[in-house]
Structure formats: C-alpha cells, structure tokens
C-alpha cells in the first residue's frame, strides 16, 4: 500500500502518546508515514480543547490539511472531536470523526474510506462516551531519540471550575499494570534511556484497580533489568504524602524531578478553582521530598488572572513561589472556557492586568531559576543527550536541569557526565567529563 498518512497532534503528552500509537498502527498496516506539512493522501488530526484558543487551532489545522490536499481523506479525533463533534462536522472536507474512545478506529476508518474510493457526502460521526470501552489498549515501540512517553491513566474526576477536560476524557481508567511493565520493558530493551509516565491525572493511577497504586507501579518498574530513568508526568500535590514519599524514596530509576500542578499560590483562589489541596499541603509535600530525595527539583503550572483574583491574592502567589523555589513555571493567563463554572463567575480580570501579572510572575521565576542554576556550577552531573548540533549536545539531568556541552565530532552517546562551568540563567553550560560507553 502506498498511501501517505500525515498526523497532526495538538495538546498534551497524552495526545502525543496516542498519536504515536496510531502512527505505529498505520505503519504496521502498510501505510507510509509522512510529516503532516507534506501533501498526503490521508490526514489524522488529534485535537485539544483545553482552551478556546486550542479549539481555534484545532479547526485551523483541519482546514490546513484540507487546503493542502482537497482530495485527501481527513479524520479527526481527540478532545475537540469528543466535546464538539458537530462543530468539526461543519468543516467541509472532514470525512470521519471519533472522540477519545476507540481512537485507533481511525485506522479502520481510513481503510474503509480508501475502499470506498471517494470522499463521502457527509462525515461519519463515531463519537461515544469517552470511557465507553474502558482504558483503550495502546502500545508503542518507537520513541523520540532517547525519551518515550507512556500513557498509564486516562480520565479525571476532579471538578475544577476552569476545566472542560473531565467532559472530554471521562472517568478515571488505569492501564493494566502488566501492560505498563511490558511496554516499559520493551522500550528499555529497544534502547530507551528515559520513560515518562503520563496521564490526564497521573496521580490517580490505580484508584480504579484493586489495592494497587502508583507507588506499586513505580516499584515494579524499578526492577526491570537495564531500566534507565523513569520520570512522572504532572502530579496533583495532594499525592505527596509521607507514605507515598517513603515508598518511592529508594527507587534507583525514579528521576528526582516532580511537576506539581499547582495552578495558584493563593489558598482562596485554589478554593474557587475547587482544587483538592492548599499551599500548606503543597509546601509540606515538597519538604518531604527534599528531605528524602537528594537534589530533587520541582516545576509547576500557574494560572494568573483567575476570576476575582485580587492584588493581595496575586502577591500571595508570588510569596508562595519564592517559598517553593520552583526550577521552572509554565505561567498562563486565565482563559475563559465556555461550559465551565469559572466562565460564569463575576470578577473577570481585564486582559491587560492578566498579562502584567504573567510578566511579574515570569520575572520572579527567572530570578529563582537563575539562583538554582548558579548552584550547579562546579557539580558533575549526568546528562541525557537529546539534541545535537555540530560538536554540541544539549540534554537534561535527572532533576531536569538543561545542560549544553561540547562533544567530539560524531559523538552520539546518550548518557554523558558533564561538569557544569557556567550558566546564563536559562541553561547550564559544561565540559564533558566522561561518556557512558554502555549508552
């Protein structure tokens, strides 16, 4: 079969994993995978709906594919397709729509369209409840350079007032532990040096299983022969309790880096968001991890300009960020989302105020990051090389500090020992100490 397939992926790491699994299934069935920017015979658009801007971009990518080749078959899946299938169907040129249940059906649908031999008059809409079939069985064998994302959980049962994702993703479903172990084992044997375990609400892994938790899964993965680094996706801070920390502290493979989904540093704002924790709980959890795991670093997400956010509440967020000492913060201005409770709240913040607060929080974070990176100077660290330019490599340490360093011509060893010599406040720079020859 000489059918060229291009896959556009928007949104989170879960979507990226699912697109990779779909791509491998297309490849296994004889299709030729191409960059979606190329002229293809068939396009798959895996959409996001976390914000109104995400919706706009998803529709833009759909139209871009249709414009690229009006004769191509166009199949749309993902969160926008799940929540607004009629909006997607209204775009002339779309042929098949499914949501977040049975995403791999796009491969079967593609074959049916090719057998038909022409674009249908109206698109087929195959959207059902996102959790209609439980946890969809997917697996990957390939990975991008040295890192692979593995989806271990789907769905979210939180009721955060700003978020539409529970509607798009359904209830909590955990991937069978044996399937996760086998996928990690296969990737490790295939040369993967880092796996990232991710989900819509990674901290909820195991809640639908019988007496099995995320800590149990991490413990089993740690026993896989040859296992490299294991990194966790975004975590709800309420997970970080003494029993969890005690379980994971001694794992050799677990990267000492945790991305905590904070969203705000003001307790009153967190309450309006209906988050499950407060700043005291978060700081206590971070202190537990710092005490138990040497050199641990933290990253987070923050929303500023949430409805009703006062200047005092914003100052509380700044104070919390100083106390927490995050290596990196993804700062977002609050974006109204139709269908959410927050969209109907009074006290919507003017855009100019939001952007000013983004600037102030970003500046505060830059100062903290610079201090953390300066503390690395003189240390010899293990770097997983991820990108290369001529005689120059860049990658991350286990605790997620990004380091750039010169390497001999043609060197592509994934694990390098690097002595940090300088920083510009954004990256660290170093000199090669030695190369892991087993890499």
What is this structure's pTM? Answer: 0.94
Angle between helices 351-374 and 311-324 (to 10 degrees): 20
Distance from C-alpha of 84 to C-alpha of 377, rounded to nearest angstrom: 50
What are the tokens at 361?
Answer: 């929080």
**What is the topology classification, in CATH, of domain 4-125?**
Rossmann fold (3.40.50)
Question: What is the pLDDT confidence band of residue 310, given thresholds at 50, 70 and 90?
Answer: very high
Average pLDDT estimate for 90-101: 97
For 314-358, the pLDDT digits (tens) are: 999 999 999 999 999 999 999 999 999 999 999 999 999 999 999
Q: Which CATH class name applies to 147-373? A: alpha beta
C-alpha–C-alpha distance, residues 159 and 379, integer Å: 43
Domain 380-435 has CATH 2.40.50: yes
pLDDT at 361 over 50: yes
Contact 251, 291 (CB under 8 A): no
d(Cα 327, Cα 17) in Å, to the nearest integer? 25
Distance CA 373, CA 375 (A): 5
Reading the block at residue 219, the tokens are: 């413990």
Chain segment 48-58, per-residue pLDDT in tens = 999 999 999 99
How does pLDDT run across 334-345, given as a tens digit for each residue?
999 999 999 999
Same fold, 4-125 and 147-373: no
Q: For residue 202, give the nearest of 240, 256, 229 by alpha carbon.
A: 240
H-run or E-run covering 354 = helix 351-374
User: How many CA atoms are closer than 13 Å to the CA of 51, on its beta-carbon side?
Assistant: 12
Would you say residue 217 has pLDDT above 90?
yes
User: pLDDT digits over 267-295, tens only?
Assistant: 999 999 999 999 999 999 999 999 999 99
The pairing of beta strand 147-154 with beta strand 173-174: antiparallel
β-partners of residue 195 are 148, 230
As a whole number, mean pLDDT of residues 241-252 equals 97
Inter-residue contact 81 to 47 (CB < 8 Å):
yes
Query: What distance in Å separates the CA atoms of residue 404 and residue 287, rounded to the nearest whole number?
Result: 29
Domain assignments of the chain as residue spans, ordered by start: 4-125, 147-373, 380-435
């Amino acid at each position: 079969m000489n059918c060229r397939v291009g896959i556009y992926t928007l949104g989170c790491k879960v979507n990226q994993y699912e697109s990779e699994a779909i791509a491998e299934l297309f490849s296994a069935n004889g299709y030729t995978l191409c960059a979606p920017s190329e002229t293809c015979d068939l396009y798959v658009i895996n959409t996001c709906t976390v914000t109104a801007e995400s919706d706009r971009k998803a529709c833009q990518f759909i139209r871009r594919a249709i414009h690229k080749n009006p004769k191509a078959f166009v199949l749309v899946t993902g969160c926008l397709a799940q929540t607004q299938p009629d909006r997607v169907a209204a775009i002339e040129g779309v042929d098949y729509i499914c949501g977040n249940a049975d995403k791999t059906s796009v491969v079967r649908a593609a074959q049916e369209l090719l057998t038909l031999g022409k674009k249908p008059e109206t698109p087929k809409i195959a959207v059902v409840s996102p959790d209609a079939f439980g946890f969809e069985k997917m697996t990957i064998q390939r990975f991008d350079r040295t890192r692979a994302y593995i989806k271990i959980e789907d769905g979210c049962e939180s009721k955060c007032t700003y978020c539409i994702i529970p509607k798009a993703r359904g209830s909590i479903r955990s991937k069978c532990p044996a399937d996760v172990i086998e996928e990690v084992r296969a990737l490790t044997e295939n040369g993967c040096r880092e796996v990232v375990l991710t989900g819509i609400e990674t901290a909820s892994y195991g809640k639908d299983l019988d007496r099995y938790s995320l800590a149990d899964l991490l413990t089993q993965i740690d026993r896989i022969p040859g296992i490299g680094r294991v990194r966790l996706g975004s975590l709800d801070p309420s997970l970080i309790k003494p029993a969890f920390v005690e379980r994971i502290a001694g794992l050799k493979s677990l990267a000492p880096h945790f991305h905590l989904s904070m969203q705000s540093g003001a307790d009153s704002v967190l309450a309006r968001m209906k988050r499950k924790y407060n700043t005291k709980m978060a700081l206590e959890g971070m202190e537990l991890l710092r005490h138990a795991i040497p050199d641990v670093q933290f990253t987070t997400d923050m929303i500023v300009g949430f409805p009703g956010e006062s200047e005092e509440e914003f100052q509380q967020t700044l104070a919390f960020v100083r106390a927490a000492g995050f290596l990196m913060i993804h700062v977002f201005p609050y974006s109204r989302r139709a269908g959410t409770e927050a969209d109907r709240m009074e006290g919507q913040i003017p855009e100019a105020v939001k952007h000013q607060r983004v600037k102030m929080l970003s500046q505060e974070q830059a100062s903290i990051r610079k201090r953390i990176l300066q503390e690395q100077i003189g240390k010899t660290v293990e770097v997983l090389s991820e990108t290369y330019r001529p005689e120059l490599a860049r990658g991350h340490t286990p605790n997620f500090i990004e380091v750039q360093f010169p390497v001999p011509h043609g060197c592509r060893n994934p694990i390098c020992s690097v002595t940090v010599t300088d920083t510009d406040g954004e990256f660290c720079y170093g000199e090669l100490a030695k190369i892991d020859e087993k890499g």
